[in-house]
Structure 1
Amino acid sequence: MKAGARDRQGWIVAGLLALATLVMLLIMGRPPICTCGAVELWHGAIDSGNSQHIADWYSPSHVIHGFLFFAAGWWLLRRAPLAWRYALAVGIEGSWEILENSPVIIDRYRTATMALGYSGDSILNSMSDLAMMSIGFWLAARMDWRVTLALAVAMEWLTLWVIRDNLTLNVLMLSFPVDAIKAWQAGG
């Protein structure tokens, strides 16, 4: 099979995986948009509107997912066409969006993190998270790794400073909750 046809298949698979994520979220009964009825390009408040609109303070963590998926694909699957590494990244991110919106993870966020009123993502936000991951993947594919790393660190520090949360703390608190961090994140 020629490289062009193999790449085209990878792009098609990536699109089908994104579509499958959307369909699964619909089947799960996730709301298409914020139940408030509004669609905001940016929701900067840390409240029940988080994870309901197009972008919020958690969007940078999904860009970083893209950085990490690109790096892992480059390291582990260097011989695979970029389109197929991207399809794998879409599959992983889509799987996370489905898992993240399951009752077990929603309850985990409520009990182990500062997201006390978290009710899951709207479909709009989940698909935006998938797009943010894609942006991160494509930036990492085009930038020097040092720039990618510096950008990831800057995004982690910015969100830590602004909302007392970031990808690192999110993973830590979901996996091994620390009461002192939870209290600090709540402003205590």
Structure 2
Amino acid sequence: MTRRSVSPYLVTALTILAAALYLLWIGREPICKCGYVKLWHGQTMSAENSQHISDWYTPSHLLHGLIFYALLWLVARRIPCGWRLAIATLIEAAWEIVENSDAVIERYRAVTISLDYYGDSVVNSVADMMAMVGGFFLARWLPVWASVALVIGFELLTAWVIRDGLALNVLMLLYPLDAVRDWQAGL
């Protein structure tokens, strides 16, 4: 008799499902309070930001996948790629849960220009996790230079269009600077 092993892709899917169920359990909105789901919502200063499938913060989640792939390749390259994806998904799911905690939502509202941010909808959180998975697979497929170009390109694009991005988001969450907040507000 052969013993069947658990698929890392099943673990990845179950991790996303568990995170979604947890977010519902803690009271996150399943979809936008507006009552519908859009594929894209491009207004960052809006109550619908982070409520639909994708928005200007989706590229940062794609970048998470690129970055997690690189970091896990550096520290755990002997682990099969599928299991590295499961680890990356666990990290991303943990981030979605932490990001949507009352403490972090209040922190965003206190130190950034996101005064109307009340957390992501569950559909947005699931889409963010899926964007990370997409970024992970992109990193596996693309040459390193292309992954680096994507990170730089998306950071420059979001900084130019919405005055935010992954690096600025982390900076303002951990070490808020008045000069950055003023620039983001267009002052």
CA distance in 2, matches of 1:42, 1:158: 17
Amino acid at match of 2:145: R
Partner of 2:145: 146
What residue is the counterpart of 1:179 in the other structure? Answer: 178
Counterpart position of 2:62: 63
Deviation at 1:175, TM superposition (A): 0.3
Moved more, 10-19 or 147-156: 10-19
Q: Which residue of 1 aligns with 2:40?
A: 42
Structure 1 match to 2:30? 32
Q: Distance in 1 between matches of 2:167 and 2:174?
A: 11
Q: Secondary structure at the match of 2:36?
A: coil
1:102 aligns with 2:93: no
Written as runs of structure 1 = structure 2, the 5 A alignment for 1:77-156 is 77-156=76-155
Once residues 125 and 84 of structure 2 are traced to their aligned partners in structure 1, the CA distance between those partners, rounded to angstroms, is 21
Distance in 2 (CA, whole Å) between partners of 1:113 and 1:88 is: 30
* Residues 53-104 of structure 1, C-alpha deviations (whole Å, 9 max, x = no match): 0000000000000001100110000000111000001100000000011000
Q: Counterparts of 1:71 and 1:167 in 2: how far apart (Å)?
A: 16
Instruction: For 2:66 and 2:113, locate their aligned partners in 1 and report how far apart those are by CA, in whole Å.
Output: 25
In structure 1, C-alpha distance between the alignment counterparts of 2:172 and 2:184, rounded to whole Å = 11
Distance 1:23 1:54 in 2: 17
Give a deviation string over 1:78-137, Cα, whole Å, max 9, x none. 000111000001100000000011000000000111111100000000000001001100
- RMSD of aligned residue pairs (Cα, Å): 1.2
Q: In the aligned structure 1, how far is the partner of 2:29 from the partner of 2:136?
A: 27
- Alpha-carbon distance in structure 2 between the residues aligned to 1:58 and 1:17: 21
**What SS does structure 2 have at the residue aligned with 1:108?**
helix
Larger displacement relative to structure 2 (8-17 or 148-157):
8-17
Q: State the AA in 2 paired with 1:14.
A: T
Aligned length in residues: 184
CA distance in 2 between partners of 1:68 and 1:14 (Å): 17
Partner amino acid for 1:13? V
Residue 14 of structure 2 is matched in structure 1 by 16
1:144 and 1:169 map into 2 onto residues whose CA distance is: 26
Whichever residue aligns with residue 88 of structure 1, its letter is I
Q: Distance in 2 between matches of 1:147 and 1:154?
A: 10
Rounded to whole Å, the distance in 1 between the matches of 2:103 and 2:158 is 25
Q: Which runs of 5+ in 1 are unaligned?
A: none
CA distance in 2, matches of 1:155, 1:94: 22
Normalization by structure 2: what TM-score?
0.96
| Stretches of structure 2 lacking an aligned partner (at least 5 in a row) | none
CA distance in 2, matches of 1:19, 1:127: 8
Identity of aligned residues (%): 49
Segments ≥4 residues shifted beyond 2 Å: none
